[in-house]
Amino acid sequence: MRPSRLAVLVSGTGRSLDNLADCVRRGELAVELALVLSDRPGVGALERAERLGIESLVVPYRDAGGVEPFGRRVFEELEARDIDLVVLAGFLRLLRIPATWLGRVLNIHPALLPAFGGKGFHGDRVHAAVLESGVRETGCTVHFVDNQYDHGPVVLQRRVAVREGDTVHDLAARVFEEEKLALPEAIRSVLAGEATFDGTGQGRGTP
């Protein structure tokens, strides 16, 4: 039986792509990294994909004509390549999920959703908001994607203490170390059928 074919959707540097490739190489993740898809040209993740020998594709959001046609184009490309599971890793566009793909699209977010999520909350903006709020704990969340930003059933979360004197860079670095563990764990859980999108807004897994 062939390994599950994974597509990684990106808008930026692709650090999580490198992490997944490392996990595959070490035998910790039994998938084929089959496609890297970006919504914009010239991002670092596309260079990483070339270095890793993974097919890459740009579907420019600006040329798509809006959210709905963009989503249709993305999923046409995924289906044409027999993709089994999709991971949004630093992908900044709202993606409309066809009903047949619910439960097959994951996102990783650098906070403990539902806190510090939604449109505009990405990257360092999230960590800056965490520090400004004064909370003492943050982390990362892997969740199934529905048709809202940072929404959908949670697969798992990993927690990080906010330390006195933390900068945005300090906090981001520690959260990313947990993301490196959370994303492959969530992928394994979904592929094993241990976490599912059951259609009622509740995930089964380890939040």
List active site positions.
109
Q: Say if CB 130 and CB 116 are below 8 A apart.
A: yes
- C-alpha dist (Å) from residue 36 to 10, 16, 25, 77, 180: 7, 11, 17, 11, 18
Residue 138 pairs with which residues in a beta bridge? 160
Q: Say if CB 43 and CB 12 are below 8 A apart.
A: yes
Question: What is the spatial distance between Cα 125 and Cα 82, in angstroms, rounded to a whole number?
Answer: 35
Q: Where are the alpha helices (DSSP H) in the chain?
A: 15-25, 44-52, 61-64, 67-80, 124-133, 168-191
Omega cis (within 30) before 69: no
**Residue tagged 């800056």 (tokens):** 128
Q: Which amino acid is at 55?
A: E
Q: Which amino acid is at 37?
A: L
